[in-house]
Structure 1
Amino acid sequence: MAVFRSVLFNVLAFLLTLIMGVGAFPVRWFAHGLALPYAKLWSRLVLDLFRAICGVEIRITGQEHVAGAGPKLIASQHQSAFDTLIWMLLVPQPSYVMKGELRRIPLLGPMLILTGMMPIDRADGAKALRLLLRETDTAVQAGKQIIIFPEGTRTAPGEHVALKPGIAAMAAHSGLPVVPVATNSGLFWGRNAFFKRSGVLHIAIGTPIDAPNRKVLLPRIEGAWRDLEKTFH
């Protein structure tokens, strides 16, 4: 049954993405203001398929920590493509810090730019950091909710990697507290995994962290993640 569900979900999600990718051309050409609502609709439909077909229940705790409009800095664990979809629905004006190469994906790349995402080429070193801080300023001034995955790549559930320093630079530069978010999404929609599994997928949103510098902030994010993970059981 799990194999059948996985095949059905992947096929339908691919077809939906293809159809909506082609359907995005009028938005890109004539209606830039509809780019974010259109992307939110796509995310909602993909996740509806995921829940209905794969038998996944999504439980969210601590949503009051990201409620309402206004700028926020959200530091989430990253285990799955699911994590890049769900925040489109949890906050009103999401702006993801993402890999620069995603801009070059056909159909998807141009929409990412129109929806106000923050593509950063990390290989550019100091130049990338300066760009990240400029993009942070722009997002904060627009009242957006910035989502960053400090691990820098998708990790397996329970895997611990050193956090990238960009989150600390953004927090110090913007003055925003950091909202830590833990998840177990990788158990159900793994990294590069064709097969999906049923069960209860948790998203635990923690109390914002206000830390003065990198040496304090990064360990506190990691500690908050570990505490939030304990609530999954």
Structure 2
Amino acid sequence: MSNHSPTPGPLSFVQYLRNVAFYLHIALATILIGFWGLFKVATGGREGAIRVSTVWIGHVVWSARVYLGLIAEVRGTPPTHDCIVAAKHQSFWDIMVISHAVPRRAFIMKREVMRVPIMGWYAYKVGCIPIDRSRGKDAMTAISERVSERIAERSLGQLIIYPEGTRTLPGQRKAYKHGVASIRAATGLDVVPVAVNTGLFWPRKGWGIRPGRAVVEFLPVIPPGTDSVTFMADLENQIEGNSDRLMAEAGFRG
């Protein structure tokens, strides 16, 4: 059981000020780390970008603990080999904690995000893969091909995917999209499911962050071999069932 249960209702005045201070601090730190990292990325390529992103993510995790009283707990064994990390997505916080736990993180990102100045450049250098959703099924084929190329180049790492495609509220479920099964079938990659309870502490819209112990749990690997229908059912059951368990531990009654 968590030492702190999520508290419903409006923030206290103190926690409101702590949220403000946290976001001001992170804004300044992002600018400073971003400029500090430009040379490292320009000269070090992806390894330099990974180093800079690791510093920034680690600083966000540390700052959340100091300013907000939000502790990140990682359970299970974070993968270090080329694989797909398929996670429940409740808030920005699970992105941070999962990214901090794996050594070579990468995401599939909307093409528009990759075009954002500085941020998009960092995302590209880290190894994120753009998706053009207007291409429909062709987009997933292109992504699978790019992932296969990265595997051959030994430059993939841990590809983080959110099967629901968007953030969900605690207790909410949305239909799982089949993109993760398509990439798995095309590449033969292991899939590591991840359960979370992060939305209880860091809301979906990012304001009203509360103290507590937010948990991200890496579950046993699902190896290649099963058909896509069986795989998707197993993946959803693993992620949703264990996320429900983590939320119940934190005091959530949905």
So what's the TM-score if we normalise by structure 2?
Answer: 0.84
SS at 1:24's partner residue?
helix
SS at 2:130's partner residue?
strand
- In structure 2, the residue matched to 1:128 is 139
Conservation of the 8 A alpha-carbon contact between 1:28 and 1:114: yes
- In structure 2, the residue matched to 1:177 is 190
Per-residue CA deviation, residues 30-70 of structure 1 (Å, 9 max, x unaligned), is: 3324111011101100111011111112222112xx34x32
Segment drifting more, 24-33 vs 155-164: 24-33
Q: Offset of 1:28 from its aligned partner?
A: 4.2
Q: Offset of 1:214 from its aligned partner?
A: 2.6
Where does structure 2 lack aligned partners over 5 or more consecutive residues?
Answer: 1-13, 250-254
Aligned residues, how many? 230
SS at 2:85's partner residue?
strand
For 2:242 and 2:204, locate their aligned partners in 1 and report how far apart those are by CA, in whole Å. 21
- In structure 1, the residue matched to 2:22 is 9
For 2:75 and 2:42, locate their aligned partners in 1 and report how far apart those are by CA, in whole Å. 39
Which of 23, 37, 48 aligns to 1:34? It is 48
- What CA RMSD, in Å, does the superposition of the two structures yield over aligned residues? 1.7
Which of 45, 48, 53 aligns to 2:67? It is 53
For 2:203 and 2:116, locate their aligned partners in 1 and report how far apart those are by CA, in whole Å. 21
**1:18 pairs with 2:31:** yes
For 1:86 and 1:74, locate their aligned partners in 2 and report how far apart those are by CA, in whole Å. 13
1:177-216 aligned at under 5 Å gives the runs: 177-210=190-223, 212-216=226-230
How many percent identity over aligned positions? 28
For 2:42 and 2:218, locate their aligned partners in 1 and report how far apart those are by CA, in whole Å. 37
For 1:92 and 1:6, locate their aligned partners in 2 and report how far apart those are by CA, in whole Å. 28
What amino acid is aligned across from residue 72 of structure 1 in structure 2?
C
Which of 129, 133, 149 aligns to 2:162? It is 149
For 2:184 and 2:228, locate their aligned partners in 1 and report how far apart those are by CA, in whole Å. 9
Conservation of the 8 A alpha-carbon contact between 1:172 and 1:212: no
Which of 87, 109, 112 aligns to 2:120? It is 109
Where does structure 1 lack aligned partners over 5 or more consecutive residues?
Answer: none
SS at 2:159's partner residue?
strand
Question: Hey, which bits of structure 1, 4+ residues long, moved more than 6 A?
Answer: none
Conservation of the 8 A alpha-carbon contact between 1:71 and 1:145: yes
So what's the TM-score if we normalise by structure 1?
Answer: 0.91
For 1:84 and 1:99, locate their aligned partners in 2 and report how far apart those are by CA, in whole Å. 15
SS at 2:181's partner residue?
helix
Per-residue CA deviation, residues 155-194 of structure 1 (Å, 9 max, x unaligned), is: 1111100111110001111212321111111122112222
